[in-house]
Amino acid sequence: METAVVKVGLIGAGTVGSSLAQLLLDANRVDMLIDAAGARLELVTVAVRDQSKPRAGIPSELLSDDAAFVAGHAPIDVLVEVMGGVEETRGLIEAALRRGVTVVTANKALMAAAGTELVQLAYANGADLYYEGAVAGGIPILRALRTSMAGERINRVMGIVNGTTNFILSKMTSEGSDYADVLAEAQALGYAEADPTADVEGFDAAAKVTILASLAFGTPLEGEVIFREGITKIRSIDVAYARHHGYVIKLLGIAERVGDHAISRRVHVAMLPEEHPLASVHGAFNAVFVEGAFSGPLMWMGQGAGGNPTAAAVLGDVVVAARNRVTGRCDAPLSVDETLQNYPMGELQTEFYLTVDVLDRPGVLALVTGVFGEHAVSIRSMEQSGFGDEARLTFITHLAFESDIAATIEDLEQLDVVDSVGACIRIVGEE
C-alpha cells in the first residue's frame, strides 16, 4: 500500500518553529512518524518575516516571506502557526480553515480571545483546529480533556500554568530571596521577559485557564475577563510564614464548578498545603490538577515552556491531525454549555491568610479583631510578632466571602492604629 502524504506548512520559525522543523526534517524520525501518523509528514514551506536570515536546519528553498500565501493558497493539508500575535494571525488561520486546511497552533492569546469561533469555523469546513501547545508547554492535557476525560464530570481544574512565576516563587521559597531580586535573576537567565507584566500579573495564566475551562466545562472561550491577581505583592516574609505553617505559595489558575450552573474561573496566588501534589511542582515546571467525580484527583506535570517541549506538543497535534486527514474526517467540537454562569468572585468562599502591621499599643488587637467580626469573618488562628514600636498580626481565617474580606481590609486600612495590610493570600487545596 502506498504511504499517504500529509503536507505541512509552517508559519513562524522562532524557538518552537525551528524545533518543529527539526523534528519533521529528521531522517531518523521519518519511519516513526509514518507509523504514528499513518502518513508521511512532509514539511513543504516555512513562512518567516525575514527570508534572508539563515535558519539552521531549514533548507532555504522551503523558506517563504509570504505567510498569507502559505495560509491561503499553498498546497498544504495542515497549517502550523507558531508566529504568535492575535489580529493578523487570526486572519491567516481563518484563511486556512475556510479552505478546509487543518490548523495546529500554540497561540494561547488568540485561542482565549477567539477560540470558540475558530473551532466552529474549522468544523464547518471539515477541518480540525488543535492547540495543545497553547497550554502548559509539553504537557498533553488538552487532548486528555477532549478525549479520555470528555465523559467525566469534572469538578475542578487547578494549574501551575506559568513557568516564569513558578520559577520566581520556587526561588523565593528555596532561598528566602525577595521578589525583585529573583525577578532580576529570572530576567538575566531568560526565564522572564524584559517587560514581565504578562507573566507576573497573571495575564498569561488567565488565557490558559480560559482554555482549560472551555474543555473541562464547556464554558465559552471568548467573553468575560476572569479574575486575575499576580505575584508582585508577595514578600519573602509571606513565603517564610507559609512554610512555617506547612504551606507553599504558588500562582494558581483555577476553574471550578460552584453549584450546578456556575463556574468560577480565576488566577491568583494561593497557599497550598505542602503535601498537595501541586506543592512539589518546582522551578519552570507546569502542572495541571484535575478533580473528576469518578476519576478522583489526577495530575499532569511537565515542562511548561521552551522550544522543544512545545514543539513536541505541536507535533502530537500534527500526528493526530494527519490521521484525520488520511481517513477524511474531523473531530466534532465539544459543545458550549450556554447555561453556565460565571460565578461572581465576591460570592466565593475561601480561607485567607492576612498580615496587618499595627502600632504596638494596648487595645489595638481588640480594635482589629473587632473589624473582622463586623464583617462576619471568623478567625482560625492568629500570631503577633513585634518589631520596634510596631507589631505584625498574622491571621488565618475560616471560610469567608471574598466580599467580606475586601470590606474588612478596607475598614482595617481606615484605622489609625493600622499601618498597612501587608498580604492577603487565599488558602487552597485543604478540603
Give ∠ CA 421-399-412 in degrees, rounded to 5: 25
Rounded to whole angstroms, the Cα distance separating 125 from 118 reads 11
- Rank residues 240 and 336 by Cβ distance to a copy of itself and give the closer one: 336
Give dist(CA 123, CA 137) in Å, integer: 25
- Does 385 interact with a copy of itself (rule: CB under 8 A)? no
Under the binding rule (CB under 8 A), the answer on residue 277 touching a copy of itself is yes
220 touches a copy of itself by CB under 8 A: no
Among residues 102, 173, 303, 355, which is the contact residue for a copy of itself, using CB under 8 A?
303
Closer to a copy of itself by Cβ: residue 229 or 331: 331
Interface mask (CB under 8 A) for a copy of itself, residues 3-22, using x and -?
A: ----------------x---
Q: Least distance (Å) from a copy of itself to the CB of residue 180?
A: 27
**Residue of 351, 345, 354 whose CA lies nearest to 409:** 354
The verdict on 313 binding a copy of itself (CB under 8 A) reads: yes
Q: Which of 16, 33, 14 is nearest to 25 (CA)?
A: 33
With CB under 8 A as the rule, give the number of residues binding a copy of itself. 55
* β-strands 262-273, 227-228 pairing: parallel
Mark residues 137-166: x for contact with a copy of itself by CB under 8 A, - for none: -xxx--xx--xxxxxxx-------------
Which of 143/228 has CB closer to a copy of itself? 143
**Binding a copy of itself by CB under 8 A: which of 315, 391, 393, 409?**
315
Integer Cα distance of 65 and 52 in angstroms: 9
Instruction: Please report, in angstroms and rounded to a whole number, the separation of the first and last CA atoms in the chain.
Output: 56
Distance CA 40, CA 159 (A): 35
Q: Per rule CB under 8 A, is residue 261 in the interface with a copy of itself?
A: no
- 289, 291, 297, 301 alpha-carbon torsion, rounded to 10°: -20
Residue among 147 and 420 whose Cβ is closer to a copy of itself: 147
Amino acid at 32: M
Provide φ and ψ at 184, rounded to 5°: -60, -40
- Among 3, 51, 327, 385, indicate the residue that binds a copy of itself (CB under 8 A): 327
Which residues, listed in sequence order, are joined to residue 354 by a DSSP beta bridge? 395, 424
Stretch that binds a copy of itself, among 47-55, 116-124, 163-171, 318-326 (CB under 8 A): 318-326
Q: Residue 121's closest CA among 93, 85, 141, 147?
A: 93
Helix (H), strand (E) at residue 297: strand 296-303
Q: Which of 13, 160, 312, 358 binds a copy of itself (CB under 8 A)?
A: 312
- Least distance to a copy of itself, CB of residue 244, Å: 20
Q: How distant, in Å, are the alpha carbons of 92, 203, 207 from that of 50? A: 18, 29, 29
Residue 97 vs 311, nearer CB to a copy of itself: 311
The dihedral through the CA atoms of 99, 103, 108, 111 has a sign that is positive
Query: Which residue, 337 or 347, has its beta carbon nearer to a copy of itself?
Result: 337
Report the DSSP pairing between strands 247-258 and 341-342. unpaired
Among all chains, which residue has been given the C-alpha cell 481588640?
Answer: 366
Residues 231-250 that bind a copy of itself (CB under 8 A): none
Cβ 46 vs Cβ 356: under 8 Å: no
Cβ atoms within 10 A of the Cβ of 138, count?
20
Residue 212 as a binder of a copy of itself (CB under 8 A): the answer is no
Q: Which stretch binds a copy of itself (CB under 8 A): 182-190, 311-319, 352-360, 413-421?
A: 311-319
- Assess 124 for contact with a copy of itself (CB under 8 A): no
Distance, CA of 78 to CA of 372 (rounded, Å): 58
Based on the shown chain and the rule CB under 8 A, indicate whether residue 27 belongs to the binding site for a copy of itself: no
Q: Which residues are catalytic?
A: 208
Determine how β-strand 349-359 pairs with β-strand 379-387: unpaired
Residue 306 found at the interface with a copy of itself (CB under 8 A): yes
- Identify which of residues 115 and 196 has a Cβ nearer to a copy of itself in the complex: 115
Q: Are 37 and 6 in contact (CB under 8 A)?
A: yes
Question: Residue 174 or residue 197: which is nearer to a copy of itself going by CB?
Answer: 174
Among 296, 362, 363, 386, binds a copy of itself (CB under 8 A): 296
Give the residues lining the site for a copy of itself (CB under 8 A): 19, 23, 29, 32-33, 35-38, 132, 138-140, 143-144, 147-153, 218, 277, 280, 292, 294-303, 306, 308-309, 311-313, 315-320, 323, 327, 329, 331-332, 334-335
